[in-house]
Amino acid sequence: MSKGNAPVNHPIHELLIARHSPYAFDPAREVSEEDLTALFEAARWTMSSYNAQPWRYIVGVKERRQSAWEHIFEVLLEGNQPWAANAPALALGVIEKNFEHNDKPNKAAAHDLGAASAMLTVEATARGLVVHQMIGIDPELAHERFQLEDGQEALTALAIGYEGGAEVIPEQYAERDLGERERKSLTDIILAGGL
């Protein structure tokens, strides 16, 4: 169902060209324990401010850790549930809001979680998997369901699996999957200095 590789203007690594975030996940294909572990190992080795590694993940797999999967699914906002229901693995991205070494606020925590999730996504692409990241979660419900500590905050969710066909999701999401892949130009995102 993929709408194809990214139409880049300059050569970049093939994994970055192939990476995309579909709504359609194949509900019949599980993600192996080996592959799933490798994704989070990639996240583990991500760079971070002061090497604080402020990211934490809660992982649920339909076939192996169903209770966690169901609780993560409950935390997703209504607009994400119709398509995420097919993902064989769901994860919540959580930050440690303060540095461990001095207990001061870590202003880079959300950035570092994003970097870790990006590395996870590249590893997934290398293994033929797809990841769809979401900000549409209920952080308070996540805090309650998973008894997070006061210094922790759930920020994002990730759906992980194999890409599926248009028939497994509502039409509005299938249309998004088939739409043209677009990005702002380099001149739009480079504010000063130029290339």
* pLDDT attached to residue 5: 86
* Confidence at residue 1, expressed as pLDDT on a 0 to 100 scale: 56
| Burial group, residue 115, by CB count within 10 angstroms (0-12, 13-18, 19+) | middle
pLDDT attached to residue 2: 60
pLDDT of residue 3: 67
Query: Residue 86 and residue 168: Cα distance in Å, rounded?
Result: 8
Whether 6 contacts 16, CB under 8 Å: yes
Q: For the whole model, what pTM was predicted?
A: 0.94
Separation of alpha carbons 80 and 173, rounded Å: 10
The reply to whether CATH 3.40.109.10 applies to domain 14-169 is yes
Contacts of 107 (CB under 8 A, 6+ apart): none
pLDDT score for 136: 98
Domain ranges across the chain: 14-169
Distance between the two ends of the chain, CA-based, in angstroms? 35
Residue by residue, pLDDT tens for the chain (195 residues) are 566 788 898 999 999 999 999 999 999 999 999 999 999 999 999 999 999 999 999 999 998 879 999 999 999 999 999 999 999 999 999 999 999 999 999 999 999 999 999 999 999 999 999 999 999 999 999 999 999 999 999 999 999 999 999 999 999 999 999 888 888 999 899 999 877
pLDDT score of 62: 94
Phi and psi at 54, nearest 5°, equal: -80, 5
